[in-house]
Amino acid sequence: MTPSSIDAHVRLDTHPTHPSAVIATLTGAQAHIPHMGLEAADWHVVAKNTLVLARIDHEEPYWAADAARELIASGIAVEITPRLREAIDEEWTWADYPMPWCTRTEIREVSAEAQKIYDDIRHGLLLIHAHAHDGHTTVAVGTYLTTGESVYLHGENHLRQVARTFDSPAKALVDFEQLHRDTMRPGPAPLTDTERAAAEARTTVDTPPAEPEPPRPEPETVPSYAADPGDHDALLDDFLDSHGNWEKWRTWSDETTHAIHESQTLRIERTHDAPAHETAWTIAAYETPVSDRMWHLTATGATPAPVLQELLDHLADGDGWDTAIGRAVDEKAVTASTKPLVEAGWKHTVDGRFIRWTAPSEDAGVQFDVFAAERSSSSAAWTVWAGADPGRPAWVLTASPHTPSSLLAGLSGNLAHGVGVRQTQPAGRERRTPLGITPPDTPAVVASPATGRAR
């Protein structure tokens, strides 16, 4: 029997009541073949020829896509509904993730390990002897019945990890009691809300009664530095449409747009798919079309729309050449650049080589690096940031020492007095850039087992 002759069809769709869970509906005379494969991959049977994938890391769409590829490779036709395709293509990350240095792939690996621990407990392979709360999160001690190895578990849901191993349950329990004597309780911890939701998703696929959609939250008015990024590409397009003395062209790969002033001495580079925390804008000015840069400025992908608009408005005014190239950046220039911040009550401090201005709410700041300004005309002497923590800013803007004081003063004024809008995000996952979202009114995607391509 060749793979393409298997008489089975799998339809993958989102769960009607649990947002991230996925349902597989099987049809065909040989539906038992994909049934066995999905069940082995920890899909749960909820009805005849109906299985559900419900995880604690909310990565069901990713693993559903992985299962679809395996089924297609086996010669089984797979249909992915548009709404599940949208979930598969959505790029997102956890809000306030405690390991911000991890890439999206590394975050998924951490979650997969946590999922395995959860599944081992759920299937009775890992017996939990006791649990406790260490002041920050849930910890537990247990033993794998298959190997006899005991483990100390730290964390909950998608963050649970094996923090330590022991040769015997006795050693594990003695150590656990010494650490958590006051809060130690026998047996596993109560189910978290996430675990409870996953368990509910594995018991029913009933469609809930139709309810009117709740009203969308109204965008809140916030300081410009805390506003949403908006559509950066639209900002640049509007700027170019309104200013005929600028010309644009895109690279052959279509990843970058360059905008050049008719003088060829003022240039903008816009990288379209740059992640939120990487450079998405570079603005530079030159004394002549073939000379070195007089000054340059960069901004990351999450820079708020009002801040970018201020920069573009300044460029439109045509004073991008208003700079003191060749002279040291003196106190007068620094004072002129930051006067709006001081007048607005931003806290002014000096810490060695750094001069800082911090918003009264401490969620934004401007920093001038004296040493960097003295050392090189191309270094990033100015740094503007906003976010809950200057060590993990939501966005960053940097500027070289000879960036025009008028531009910096305009930027300072926008930070001090400008406003914008911000759409409230739900707790938990943070939606990011959608990738190739399929419109909801298009036909479902069906993969042909003969080619493995969508048709």
Q: 3-state SS of 29-84? A: CCCHHHHHHHHHCCCEEEECCEEEECCCCCCHHHHHHHHHHHHHHCCCEEEECHHH
Among 68, 167, 59, 54, which residue's Cα sits nearest to residue 119? 54
CA distance 364 to 387: 6
Residue 453: count of CB within 10 angstroms of its CB: 8
In a domain, 232, yes or no: yes
Q: What is the tens place of the pLDDT at every residue in 38-76?
A: 999 889 998 899 999 999 999 999 999 999 999 999 999
pLDDT for the residue numbered 82: 92
Domain membership flag for residue 329: yes
Query: What gap in Å lies between CA 188 and CA 102, rounded to an integer?
Result: 29
Quote the tokens at residue 423. 């759409």
Please tell me the distance from the alpha carbon of residue 17 to that of residue 208, in angstroms, as a whole number: 7
Q: Do residues 445 and 80 touch, judged by C-beta distance below 8 A? A: yes
| SS3 assignment, position 275 | coil
Greatest mean pLDDT among 212-216, 273-277, 348-352 lies in: 348-352
Between CA 250 and CA 430 the distance in angstroms is 30
Taking all residues of the chain, what is their mean pLDDT, rounded to a whole number? Answer: 86
- Model confidence band, residue 443 (pLDDT cutoffs 50, 70, 90): very low
- Give residue 203's pLDDT: 83
Whole-number pLDDT of residue 318: 66
Pick from 334, 331, 357: nearest CA to 345: 357
Q: Which residues contact 299 (CB under 8 A, 6 or more apart)?
A: 279, 280, 281, 307, 308, 311, 395, 396, 397
Dihedral sign, CA of 63, 140, 168, 175?
positive
Residue with the two structure tokens 């940097």: 398
Q: Domain for residue 205, yes or no?
A: no
Domain of residue 7, residue span: 3-94+435-447
pLDDT in tens, 29-38: 999 999 999 9
How many of the other CB atoms lie within 10 Å of CB of 89?
15
Question: Angle, to 10 degrees, between the axis of helix 305-316 and the axis of helix 405-417?
Answer: 150
More confident residue, 390 or 9: 9
Question: Does one domain contain both 293 and 159?
Answer: no
Whether the predicted pLDDT of 397 surpasses 70:
yes
Asked if residue 386 has pLDDT above 70, the reply is: yes
CB 58 within 8 A of CB 157: no
Q: How many domains does the chain have?
A: 3
Average pLDDT over residues 302-312: 96
- Same domain assignment for residues 158 and 285: no
pLDDT tens-place string over residues 229-268 = 999 999 999 999 999 999 988 776 678 999 999 999 999 9
The answer on 143 and 56 residing in a single domain is no
- Confidence at 432, pLDDT banded by 50, 70, 90: very low
- For the record, the structure tokens of 308 come out as 């970018």
In a domain, 45, yes or no: yes
- Indicate if the pLDDT at residue 211 is higher than 80: no
Last residue of a domain, one of 197, 231, 257: 197
* DSSP code of residue 233: H
In this prediction, residues 129-145 reach a mean pLDDT of 94
pLDDT level of residue 424 (50, 70, 90 thresholds) = low
How much is the average pLDDT of 391-415? 94
Average pLDDT rounded to a whole number, residues 186-190: 93
For tokens 């604690």, name the residue. Answer: 56
Residue range 299-318: mean pLDDT, rounded = 92
As to burial, measured by CB atoms within 10 angstroms (0-12 exposed, 13-18 middle, 19+ buried), residue 207 is: exposed
How high is the pLDDT of residue 221?
93
399 and 440 together in one domain = no
250 and 297 inside one domain: yes
Rounded to an integer, the average pLDDT of 366-387 is 90
Q: Are residues 87 and 108 in the same domain?
A: no
Could you report how far apart the first and last alpha carbons of the chain are, in Å?
Answer: 24
Considering the domain architecture, whether residues 109 and 90 belong to the same structural domain is answered as no
Q: Residue 17: is its pLDDT beyond 90?
A: no
- List, in sequence order, the alpha helices (H) in 274-354: 305-316, 331-343
Confidence of residue 280 (pLDDT cuts 50, 70, 90): very high
- Residue 159 belongs to some domain of the structure: yes
Q: Is residue 258 included in any domain, yes or no?
A: yes
Answer yes or no: is pLDDT of 27 > 50.
yes
Q: Is pLDDT of 302 > 90?
A: yes
**Residues 277, 396 within the same domain:** yes
Report whether pLDDT(439) > 80.
no
- Kindly state the average pLDDT of the residues 382-407: 92
Helices 60-73 + 32-40 axis angle, to 10: 140
Q: What is the pLDDT of residue 321?
A: 57
326 and 414 part of one domain: yes
Domain end position, chosen among 197, 212, 243: 197
Give just the sign of the alpha carbon dihedral 8, 12, 16, 21.
positive
pLDDT at position 1 over 80: no
| Predicted local confidence at residue 328, as pLDDT | 62
Whether residues 108 and 89 share a domain: the answer is no
Q: Which of 163, 197, 231 is the last residue of a domain?
A: 197
Q: 393 and 251, same structural domain?
A: yes
400 in the same domain as 266: yes
Examine residue 454 and state whether it is found in any structural domain, yes or no: no
Q: How many CB atoms lie within 10 A of CB 285?
A: 26
Domain assignment present for residue 377? The answer is yes
What's the whole-number mean pLDDT along residues 113-132? 94
CB 8 within 8 A of CB 27: yes
- Find tokens 């530095």 and name the residue: 225
Question: What pLDDT sits at residue 104?
Answer: 86
Residue 194 near residue 94 (C-beta atoms within 8 A): no
